[in-house]
């Protein structure tokens, strides 16, 4: 263990006048706590000495229980939820499920959108058209409640799908309104 002295200043406080401070490669016992700012440090504060970062871990160290004790500072790895394997797998599963759900909505939308002009339909065809349009609309409403979180958590999905999804939702809503108007106005149905 090194000791402070004229030719070896304490790495924490710079003490040279006597041998009160002592240190090794992995610990510093500093007895000159009030100079060079060491006295103002709180437990956990970090100083730089001899090119290393040291954290103040105690003020009751050393042979007399009055030394400031420093240990090499080891920064805690920052918590990164999104890079944890389990979390990443869950997110991938969510995104995969969302992709399937979106693709199902797009298909349902397309079938509804392909319905010809209502005036040209037989009653059976109109019933079928109503089923398609209602189903697509319901899918859109259901998904609309879930995709907001998806857009936030998976920006690449938002970039690829948000405009298309919102556009289809507006369109299917308009188509459903048209259908209801047609059925009540031309067919006299009570919707």
The answer to whether 59 contacts Zn ion (rule: CB under 5 A) is no
Helix, strand or coil, per DSSP, at residue 27: strand
Nearer to Zn ion, 6 or 85 (CB): 6
Q: How far apart are CA 84 and CA 8, in angstroms?
A: 46
Least distance (Å) between residue 73 CB and Zn ion: 17
Nearer to Zn ion, 10 or 108 (CB): 10
Please pick, from the candidates 30, 102, 115, 179, the single residue that binds Zn ion as defined by CB under 5 A.
Answer: 30
Nearer to Zn ion, 30 or 98 (CB): 30
Please pick, from the candidates 15, 59, 137, 161, the single residue that binds Zn ion as defined by CB under 5 A.
Answer: 15
Least Cα distance to 111 among 92, 129, 89 occurs for: 129
Residue nearest Zn ion (C-beta atom): 10
The DSSP string of 53-114 is: EEEEEEEEETTTT-EEEEEE--PPPPP-GGGSHHHHHHHHHHHHHHHHHHHHHHHHHHHHHT
Least distance (Å) between residue 57 CB and Zn ion: 15
Q: How far apart are CA 47 and CA 12, in angstroms?
A: 8
- Across the strands, what pairs with 80? none
Nearer to Zn ion, 43 or 89 (CB): 43
Q: CB–CB of 25/42 below 8 Å?
A: no
The answer to whether 32 contacts Zn ion (rule: CB under 5 A) is yes
The site for Zn ion, by CB under 5 A, has a size of 7
Nearer to Zn ion, 30 or 56 (CB): 30
Residues that bind Zn ion (CB under 5 A): 10, 12-13, 15, 21, 30, 32
């Amino acid at each position: 263990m090194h000791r402070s002295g004229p030719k070896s200043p304490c790495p924490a406080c710079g003490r040279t006048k006597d041998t009160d401070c002592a240190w090794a490669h992995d610990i510093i016992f500093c007895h000159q706590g009030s100079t060079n700012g060491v006295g103002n440090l709180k437990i956990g504060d970090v100083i730089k000495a001899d090119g290393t970062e040291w954290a103040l871990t105690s003020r009751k160290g050393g042979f007399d229980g009055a030394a400031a004790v420093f240990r090499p500072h080891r920064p805690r790895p920052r918590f990164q939820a999104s890079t944890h394997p389990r979390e990443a797998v869950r997110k991938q599963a969510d995104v995969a499920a969302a992709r399937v759900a979106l693709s199902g909505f797009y298909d349902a939308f397309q079938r509804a959108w392909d319905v010809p002009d209502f005036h040209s339909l037989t009653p059976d065809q109109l019933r079928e058209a109503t089923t398609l349009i209602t189903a697509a609309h319901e899918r859109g409403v259901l998904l609309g409640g879930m995709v907001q979180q998806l857009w936030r958590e998976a920006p690449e999905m938002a970039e690829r799908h948000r405009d298309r999804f919102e556009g289809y939702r507006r369109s299917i809503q308009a188509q459903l309104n048209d259908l209801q108007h047609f059925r009540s106005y031309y067919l006299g149905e009570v919707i």
